[in-house]
Amino acid sequence: MSHAKEQLLGWVRLVLTPGIGPVIGRKLVRAAGDIERLWRLSDTRLRSVAGIGPVLLAAMRRSSAEEARHRLDAWERSGLIVLSPDDERYPVRLAALDDAPLILFATGYPSVLNGPKMLAMVGSRKASRESRLLTYRWARYFCRQDVTIVSGMAAGVDWAAHSGALQEGTTVAVLGFGLQSEVSEEQQRMIKRIREHGCVISECLPEQAARPEHFPRRNRIIAGISDGVVVMAADRRSGALITAQQAANYGREVMAVPGNVLGRSHEGCHRLIREGALLVENPGQCMQNMGWQTAGRPVKQAYLPGNEQERQVLLALSQGPLAMDALSETCGLTIPELSSILLALELQGVVERLPGSRYLLNVELKDS
């Protein structure tokens, strides 16, 4: 058996030991010097490690190297990639943290876990269509700048981030359940798409189903693997705020997109901004905040209005999505006049119709 395999077996054995989590596990390995020496330490030396009492000591002595070998062989036969901190493919940004996972399970291309520019895009599962659309567009833009998008493959913002990234580049999904647990057909399809162009990882044992306590742990991985986090839309109870807090604790850049102060969908974003997160209104600002140079196509095409009525309509929409009634009142146009203008603009891709007869501007306006 190779030395690398022996090291990996040591990490798997540690993960399978009841009561040993990432923080204590890493303390043990540091005390021993490496994972192989750990399993040769005396009881006296193990008891000297902070957090190791009689219960954990007994659990370690009961742990089975043979069981670890059996489980690892089964995982690898099924096609899973098992990464330990001794593996050069293990995320470097994550490895430096005291609470980093002892092992990660992966499918896809682990090399993307150490991309030069890693940005997490997170937010509410119940984000509005506008926020999901904005996330999708920003993710496409970031990938055109060679940024790898990291998110949690949940509904809402996460899903939009992965979907946008897959149109242009690379994405990493961090799951709150095992890679071999039962998931919906839609999740299966997304995992397949991501692993073909990026990587899907999880700290959970492969057969573990999703549980509420898994998601804060998942969120710390999203924060730890990334250079920065942008919260696209989050109410005051959103789990994205946990990711943002973890990112701040790890010294990562935290950014947030503001929203309508009359609604609740961005209350969490506004709180983050009050507490020091950087307010961002476009993806170029995110790139600037991260110190990353931009290249490639702009996020929106420029459009020169064909007449004064078009200009009035587009100027009104430049302030945000509006319903047809509000546009009619703002621009002083009748509904029939406005409908004709909006239809022509929609056919050109200049505006997009949203639910509730609201319209969203898709372009940057040219002055002349």
Task: Tell me what pLDDT residue 355 has.
Answer: 67
CATH number of 1-64: 1.10.150.20
CATH number of 302-365: 1.10.10.10
User: Going residue by residue through the chain (368 aa), what tens digit of pLDDT does each one get?
Assistant: 688 899 999 999 999 999 999 999 999 999 999 999 999 999 999 999 999 999 999 999 999 999 999 999 999 999 999 999 999 999 999 999 999 999 999 999 999 999 999 999 999 999 998 899 999 999 999 999 999 999 999 999 999 999 999 999 999 999 999 999 999 999 999 999 999 999 999 999 999 999 989 999 999 999 999 999 999 999 988 989 999 999 999 999 999 999 888 778 899 999 999 999 999 999 999 999 999 987 654 456 788 888 989 989 999 988 878 888 889 889 999 999 999 999 888 888 888 887 677 888 888 887 65
* 362: amino acid identity, one letter: N
- Sequence ranges of the domains in the chain: 1-64, 110-290, 302-365
Task: Tell me what pLDDT residue 358 has.
Answer: 83
Torsion, Cα 155 191 246 270, to 10 degrees, reads: -30
Task: Tell me what pLDDT residue 106 has.
Answer: 98
What is this structure's pTM?
Answer: 0.82
Task: Tell me what pLDDT residue 1 has.
Answer: 67
Task: Tell me what pLDDT residue 82 has.
Answer: 98
What's the CA gap between 228 and 364, in Å, rounded?
A: 27
Task: Tell me what pLDDT residue 296 has.
Answer: 52
Task: Tell me what pLDDT residue 357 has.
Answer: 76
Domain 110-290 matching CATH 3.30.460.10: the answer reads no
Domains 110-290 and 302-365 share a fold: no
What's the CA gap between 52 and 74, in Å, rounded?
A: 30
